[in-house]
Amino acid sequence: MDDRFQRQYFPLFTAPEAAPDADPDGDTFNNHSEYIAGTNPTNALSLLKIDSVVLNTNGSTLAWESAAGKRYQVFSRLDLDNALWQAVGAPVTAAGASTAFTDASATNGFRFYRVQALP
């Protein structure tokens, strides 16, 4: 994890709450995950999550808060319990604070989605 990230968010970057495995904001994402996602490790409302999924004739369009320059991969599966997560398309590089991705193959079916920040 980059020391600049720790110095940005923690007065004492060597403090226990600044450690890569620590979760000082209690949002279930440790500091290393927050660093990769570009989120604020001291704000529980700053986390990587899908904000919306809209299905129309063009497919399913997902939207999430992002960090400019960070890369994300969208995954889907048809069954929450028994199916494997499959990558949908190529990784997406965020241009700003919000990113949208359209899964053109999802025009008439129910799917589960997740978005993963890539290192």
For 32-41, how does the pLDDT look when each residue is reduced to its tens digit (9 = 90+)?
999 999 999 9
pTM recorded for the entire structure: 0.88
Per-residue pLDDT tens over the stretch 42-69: 999 999 999 999 998 889 999 999 999 9
Place 82 in a pLDDT band, splitting at 50, 70 and 90: confident
CATH of 50-118 given 1.10.3470, 1.10.4160, 3.30.70, 2.60.40: 2.60.40
Domain ranges of the chain: 3-37, 50-118
* pLDDT for res 32: 96
- If you write DSSP's letter for every residue of 26-70 in order, what string do you get? -SS--HHHHHHHT--TT-TT----EEEEEEETTEEEEEEE--TT-
